[in-house]
Amino acid sequence: MKTNMKTLGVISMFVVSLVMTVLPTHGQDKFRVEPGEKQTNPEFIQRLADPELNPELARRIPDPTARLKEAQTLATGFCQNFTTSVSVVSTAQGCFIDVTYSNTYTYVASTTNACNLPHGLYVEVCPQAQIQSATVISGAWLSGLTPVLSTNYVYWVKSCPIAGNNYNNRIPSGQMLTVRIKLANGFCPGSCAVTVKEMTGAPYPQFNWWSCQQFHTITTPVVNYSIGLDTSVCTGSAFTISVVPPPGSTVKWYKYTPTSPTQPCPPVLCPIGPPWVLAQTGGNTYNTNILTQTTCYVAVVELGCGVWVSNVKRVDVCPGPPSNQITATGPPTTLINNVPHACTSWSGQLCLTPSTFPCPTTIVRWERRTKALTYPSACNPVWGAPSAWFPIPNSAGQTCINTGNLTATACQTQYEFRAVLQNSCGLSYPSYTIVIDRPPVPGNITANPLPPLCFDKATKLTYSTTCAEVVEWEKREELSPCTNTWGPWSVESGSQGTCVWWTNNLLKTTQYRVKVKNGACPSVYSPVYTVTVKPKLGVTITANKTVLCPPGPVILTAQTTYGPPCNYPVSYQWYRDGLPIAGATGSTYSPTTGGNYYVVVSETCGKATSNVITVCGRPQLVIEAPCCVCPGETVTVNAVVVWTPQNCPAPSCTYLWNTGATTPSISVTSPGTYTVTVNCGTCPPMTQSVIIQPCL
């Protein structure tokens, strides 16, 4: 033998075992178990080159570099005799891997460190498999040993004594050890690494190195099981999901209910676990029963030791037809009765808001229709029937559309847009309405009866319009009759929306106007209409003098409320003492006799009677005296001025008797002729005499 074989006792024997286990999967798909290369632990090489642990090699090769090279050659040769195999086994009790190990070597007891010989077997499995238990199938060395278990590794070990070389705990050269490891989970598609290590080193349980190891790769074929694409249903519906597994497999159905309609389905790992919940074991179909919430589903297909996870199917549950709304962007509009209005024209963009429902929405198309507002008569707007819905070309699937330039083809034109939306619950038609208004043209006001009106009378005003709404009627009063000076405008309460307005009983000339508006267009005023109101008819007469004495005549003048500055025509009739004076029909009258005078004026609004002026006729002088006087008797002679009429405002008079007396009455005691001269105002003097006889 060679020197290195003597030092370590390694037999030049090379064995490689490859085991391929075929499981019944899809067609020709199989598990592939492929052994990897064997690896030597660098620490093992260092231990072989250590002069204290391997004094024989140090004696033979004193140079450290050469000794390290020789140790590397020895360790590599030793690990080449390290043989392992791995196979996948599926039984009714579960999924297992069988691991077989052996190493054929020789050693020289006097020179070989016992801790450099194998005294433990270590198996590591990919974490997804999860080791449950391990049992010994064959190998005397394993008898009575308890495996040390973790979720991804297991090992069997015996101690290597520090003091002295005790070779009893080593794994005997050439002895084959076979163990069976039970796995909690099968193998998911992809690769699972199984590592088999030969344990050497310090005494158990402090050992921390290995001499040789070999990787084995278990490859599970990828099989794409489908349970269908995501879908949506209406609330209260049930749904059936199916998968097509291979014969002999078991299907487990899992589900997850998102906490909100927008929460995505959680990712699915293999093996599957929380938050996914097992809903059903067995069966190629799964009935969801009545659904009220969005739910995610996945199928797990188990065949032997293989585990395949299907795609995730999301079933969105719609509470009803699409809930999208339409929003508009464009020039500002005016909201009238909750409907946007624009004057003359408008163009913008309409967009659908996101649905508040989790289920997908299909935009079938956008549509448009119109209707027109006309005025068959004033203040009587009538909406025509809407047109048919017109599909907007190329609008299917469009979240937003442009309206184009919308104009007023009538007094008002209403444009209504809607989107035709569909989900699993049916159709919905969110809509947006906008009205385009034509600028108003002012109309005219007419009255019945026509002005001028009599004092304290009313009239009916009518406003004619073809394309406007009456906002309000306004009025203002003339400050003074017929002066064209006006007070401020005021709004007539309750006049909104009416084209007919009854005035109050008017006492003054009043002007009216109508404020009109059409939708969002600026308001305008009608031309002002003046309702002329005649003043209250009245007449007053005055006299230049009231006595029919020179100089000049008496002139009675009538002044009416219809006079300047209004100058409305009236008719006159003068009266004396309550009787009409023939031919006295002017605004002035000159009486020739005394009396009580007044005038009556009349016109279409009625009559008015003036005040009364009493005109005094020329006075007459009368002497009142007895016919005789007796001796010793005293009698009174009176000078009496008689006016016609008696209540006329006569001027004062002066008296002069032939006796020299100046009083209206004198006392006489003797017979004789008594004469008096009386002067009254501008009237000619009056003289009168009386003869008093002696009594017989």
DSSP state of 457: B
Yes or no: say if 665 and 637 are a contact pair by the CB < 8 Å rule: yes
CA–CA dist 418, 404 (Å, integer): 15
CA–CA dist 223, 534 (Å, integer): 107
* Extended beta strands in 139-206, E state: 148-149, 153-157, 177-183, 190-200
3 pLDDT tier (thresholds 50, 70, 90): very low
16 pLDDT tier (thresholds 50, 70, 90): very low
pLDDT value for 380 = 87
In this prediction, residues 64-76 reach a mean pLDDT of 85
pLDDT value for 11 = 24
What phi, psi does 241 have (nearest 5°)? Answer: -115, 140
Number of H helices, E strands in the chain: 4, 54
Assigned CATH for 326-437: 2.60.40
Task: Give the H or E element holding residue 84.
Answer: strand 82-91
The gap between the terminal CA atoms of the chain, to the nearest Å, is: 225
Residue with the bigger pLDDT between 52 and 236: it is 236
In this prediction, residues 321-349 reach a mean pLDDT of 95
* Extended beta strands in 126-173, E state: 131-138, 148-149, 153-157
pLDDT value for 270 = 83
In this prediction, residues 568-572 reach a mean pLDDT of 95
* Alpha-carbon distances of 155 from 116, 180, 303, rounded to whole Å: 18, 12, 28
Residue with the bigger pLDDT between 630 and 54: it is 630
466 pLDDT tier (thresholds 50, 70, 90): confident
Residue 162 has pLDDT above 70, yes or no: no
- Tens of pLDDT, residues 254-270: 999 999 888 999 999 88
4 pLDDT tier (thresholds 50, 70, 90): very low
Q: Which CATH class is domain 620-694?
A: mainly beta
Superfamily of domain 539-615: Immunoglobulins (2.60.40.10)
Return the C-alpha torsion angle 450, 455, 458, 459, nearest 10. 10
- Give the residue carrying structure tokens 């705990």: 169
Helix 42-49 vs helix 64-80: crossing angle, to nearest 10: 130
Structure tokens at 564: 């300047």
Cα-based angle 468, 472, 474 (whole degrees, multiple of 5): 125
- Tens of pLDDT, residues 648-667: 888 899 999 999 999 999 99
- Tens of pLDDT, residues 522-538: 999 999 999 999 999 99
**How many of the other CB atoms lie within 10 Å of CB of 171?**
24
Residue with the bigger pLDDT between 119 and 332: it is 332
User: Residue 140: helix, strand or coil by DSSP?
Assistant: helix
Mean pLDDT of the chain: 88
CA atoms within 13 A on the CB side of 345: 6
pLDDT value for 109 = 67
Residue 67 has pLDDT above 90, yes or no: no
Which stretches of 31-157 are DSSP H helices? 42-49, 55-60, 64-80
pLDDT value for 163 = 52
Yes or no: say if 196 and 214 are a contact pair by the CB < 8 Å rule: yes
* Residue of 576, 572, 603 whose CA lies nearest to 588: 572
CA–CA dist 241, 301 (Å, integer): 14
pLDDT value for 79 = 84
* Residue of 210, 110, 90, 107 whose CA lies nearest to 157: 210
Residue with the bigger pLDDT between 113 and 581: it is 581
pLDDT value for 204 = 43
The sign of the dihedral angle between the CA atoms of 193, 199, 205, 206 is: negative
Residue 181 has pLDDT above 70, yes or no: yes
Structure tokens at 26: 């899809």
Yes or no: say if 656 and 676 are a contact pair by the CB < 8 Å rule: yes
DSSP state of 221: P
Is the preceding peptide bond at 147 cis, omega within 30 degrees of 0? no
Interacting residues of 264 by C-beta distance below 8 A, sequence separation 6+: 258
35 pLDDT tier (thresholds 50, 70, 90): confident
Domain extents in the chain = 3-220, 231-318, 326-437, 444-531, 539-615, 620-694
pLDDT value for 111 = 66
Query: What percent of the chain has pLDDT above 70?
Result: 93
71 pLDDT tier (thresholds 50, 70, 90): confident
* Alpha-carbon distances of 553 from 11, 232, 287, 545, 650, rounded to whole Å: 178, 116, 128, 8, 16
Q: Given its phi and psi angles, is residue 344 left (phi above 0), alpha (psi -120 to 50 degrees) or beta?
A: left
pTM: 0.60
In this prediction, residues 319-331 reach a mean pLDDT of 93
- Tens of pLDDT, residues 196-233: 998 886 554 444 567 889 999 999 888 899 999 998 89
CA–CA dist 577, 587 (Å, integer): 18
Residue 520 has pLDDT above 80, yes or no: yes
Structure tokens at 83: 């043989």
| CATH architecture for residues 231-318 | Sandwich (2.60)
DSSP state of 503: P
pLDDT value for 357 = 81
CA–CA dist 252, 310 (Å, integer): 11
Residue with the bigger pLDDT between 298 and 60: it is 298
One-letter-per-residue 3-state SS of 522-552: CCEECCCEEECECCCCCEEEEECCCECCCCC
DSSP for 246-309 reads PTT-EEEEEEE--SSTTPPPPP--SS--TT-EEEEES-SEEE--SB-S-EEEEEEEEETTEEEE
Residue with the bigger pLDDT between 11 and 462: it is 462
pLDDT value for 296 = 95
CA atoms within 13 A on the CB side of 314: 16
13 pLDDT tier (thresholds 50, 70, 90): very low
Residue 1 has pLDDT above 90, yes or no: no
pLDDT value for 110 = 63
* Fold of the domain spanning 444-531: Immunoglobulin-like (2.60.40)
Residue 19 has pLDDT above 70, yes or no: no
**How many of the other CB atoms lie within 10 Å of CB of 683?**
19
Q: Out of 270-274, 479-483, 499-503, 580-584, pick the least confident.
A: 270-274
Query: What percent of the chain has pLDDT above 90?
Result: 65
